[in-house]
Amino acid sequence: MVVVGAGPGGAAAAHFLSAHGLDVLLLDRAEFPRDKTCGDGLTPRALRVLREMGLLGAVAQRGWRVDAYEVVAPNGRATTAAITAEPGALVIPRHTLDEMIVRQAIESGAGFLDGVGVNRVEPAPTQATVHADDGRIFHARVVVIATGAATGVLTRSGMLRHKPRHMLAMRAYFGDIQHEVAHTFQLRLDGAPMPGYGWIFPVDSKVANVGVAFMPGRRSPAASLAFERFIRGAAVQSMLEDSRRLGPVKGYPIRTDFLRSPTCAERTLLVGEAAGLVNPLTGEGIDYALESGRLAAEHLVDLFQQGELATERLTAYHALLHARFQKIFQFGEWVRDWYGHAPLVNVLVALANRRPELRQLLTNIVLGEREPRGYRPATMLARLVIYLASCQLSAVSHQGQRDERHGPTVADRHKTC
Ligand SMILES: Cc1cc2nc3c(=O)[nH]c(=O)nc-3n(C[C@H](O)[C@H](O)[C@H](O)COP(=O)(O)OP(=O)(O)OC[C@H]3O[C@@H](n4cnc5c(N)ncnc54)[C@H](O)[C@@H]3O)c2cc1C
């Protein structure tokens, strides 16, 4: 078996395949350890896969614990929810994390060659051939492609006909931060192009990973300009006051097109961002890369045990992925496309502040901890209208009571929709 790409998706697939006794060669064009432009945030879903890989303790030791999500609306109002899902969340630079996962795959028995760029994969009925840029050829019974947002291998192998629509993202590290760095993922919608957001993720008590990601439209700025505007926003500037940038500002695309992406072909499975598996709302993809790496490995182990690699059995992987991820991605796309407008987000954040259970529910759905229900645009819009109407009614009734009592109560002051 050959796995192309040694990010979290490919390295997890290599680990789980090797742990089941299969013969695996993991290839990557980069020399490891290597950096990957990222926000470095790990959700509970990601940590659960790392726990299965035996890496949770080591990763937690080197990462910065995160307990909450804070969303800042375009009007500057914020709402915060605790991350209650087990085993929590953390931030850890990809330079460290990816090296740890690759080492784990190697310890489980995978062979690893870095500095080997792959040009294309040629599937055939009984095997697949991997053509490296340097002319080397590798034969495998099945190839797992995990090349992330870089679409070259998929295009040259005939698996992608059009370049998928992708988000643009840029980030930099800032050190010597004077403010107390909270144990919080901060997502800011003030000062970032919409649909999109900026983030401030704490790497340790003095360092933060700061960036922007957005779906470009006809009038969107260049990613570098969007980043500059974001860090010059008053609130962000005050947080970064007297800090200094560590290293360059780096940009990279983000593919969130899982719902329209191919996920397999003859003798080939795609995992992680190569299958468009990044949450369209939050830009989180490490979790889905790790999970799809494990899912692909489990599927292949089953097929090998049954001695059955016919294309229709192999491509059942597509249905497995969709059974697991489709609802989350459908919800994410609808929220992004229907609610990704400043006035609506302002209302949603205000609503979330009034209703702790709504806030927690949304956080769990966004983190992929709860399956969304009744989330089609019409249903969601109807719910919003009903909710706003009920707020209006309750405001009128409070006004009546207040008039009778001659003056507002503290509770009244907090009950504005
Ligand atoms: C700015 C930014 C911020 C982000 N923030 C977060 C975040 O905070 N949390 C989160 O969960 N996700 C985040 N993401 C998304 C996340 O980085 C990716 O979804 C995740 O890395 C996908 O993992 P992967 O294993 O599929 O691919 P990758 O991690 O991209 O790994 C792909 C590997 O394939 C190799 N490769 C590519 N082409 C070839 C080739 N031709 N031959 C050989 N090797 C090749 C590459 O060198 C690389 O090592 C962010 C993305 C960006 C751009």
3-state secondary structure the chain: CEEECCCHHHHHHHHHHHHCCCCCEEEECCCCCCCCCCCCEECHHHHHHHHHCCCHHHHHHHCEEECEEEEECCCCCEEEEECCCCCCEEECCHHHHHHHHHHHHHHCCCEEEECCCEEEEEECCCCEEEEECCCCEEEECCEEECCCCCCHHHHHCCCCCCCCCEEEEEEEEEECCCCCCCCEEEEECCCCCCCEEEEEEECCCCCEEEEEEECCCCCCCCHHHHHHHHHHCHHHHHHHCCCEEEEEEEEEEEECCHHHCCCEECCEEECHHHHCCCCCCCCCCHHHHHHHHHHHHHHHHHHHHHCCCCHHHHCHHHHHHHHHHHHHHHHHHHHHHHHCCHHHHHHHHHHHHHCHHHHHHHHHHHCCCCCCCCCCHHHHHHHHHHHHHHHHHHHHHHHHHHHHHCCCCHHHHCCCC
Total number of domains in the chain: 2
Position 337 in a domain = no
Q: Both 15 and 123 in a single domain?
A: yes
Are residues 294 and 373 part of one domain?
no
Owning domain of residue 379: 344-413
Q: Given this model, what pLDDT does residue 113 score?
A: 98
Please report whether residue 25 resides in a domain: yes
In a shared domain, residues 310 and 361: no
pTM above 0.85, yes or no: yes
Do 203 and 150 share a structural domain? yes
Closest ligand 1 atom to residue 255 Cα is: 19
User: Tell me, what CATH number does 306's domain have?
Assistant: 3.50.50.60
Domain match, 165 and 278 both? yes
Whether 303 shows a pLDDT value over 50: the answer reads yes
Q: Is the pLDDT of residue 413 over 70?
A: no
CB of 145 shorter than 6 A to ligand 1: no
Say if 115 falls within a structural domain: yes
285 lines ligand 1 (CB under 6 A): yes
| 315 and 355 housed in the same domain | no
Atom of ligand 1 nearest to the CA of 34: 49
> For residue 338, is it within any domain?
no
Q: Is the CB of 256 under 6 A from ligand 1?
A: no
Q: 47: CA distance to ligand 1 center in Å? A: 17
For residues 286 and 362, state if they share a domain: no
Q: Which of 285, 319, 353 is the last residue of a domain?
A: 319
- The reply to whether 288 and 391 lie within a common domain is no
Residues 26 and 77 in one domain: yes
- 315 and 380, same domain (yes or no): no
Residues 277 and 355 in one domain: no
Q: Is the CB of 160 under 6 A from ligand 1?
A: no
What does the pLDDT average to over 234-248? 93
Q: How confident is the model at residue 378 (pLDDT cuts 50, 70, 90)?
A: low
Residue 414 has a pLDDT of 32
Q: Determine the residue of 35, 102, 254, 271 to mutate for testing ligand 1's pocket, defined as the one with the most ligand atoms within 8 A of the Cβ atom.
A: 254
Residue 332 lies in a domain: no
Residue 393: pLDDT band by 50, 70, 90 thresholds?
A: low
Q: Whose CA is nearest to atom 41 of ligand 1?
A: 118
Question: Is the CB of residue 153 below 6 angstroms from any atom belonging to ligand 1?
Answer: yes
Is the same domain home to 95 and 224? yes
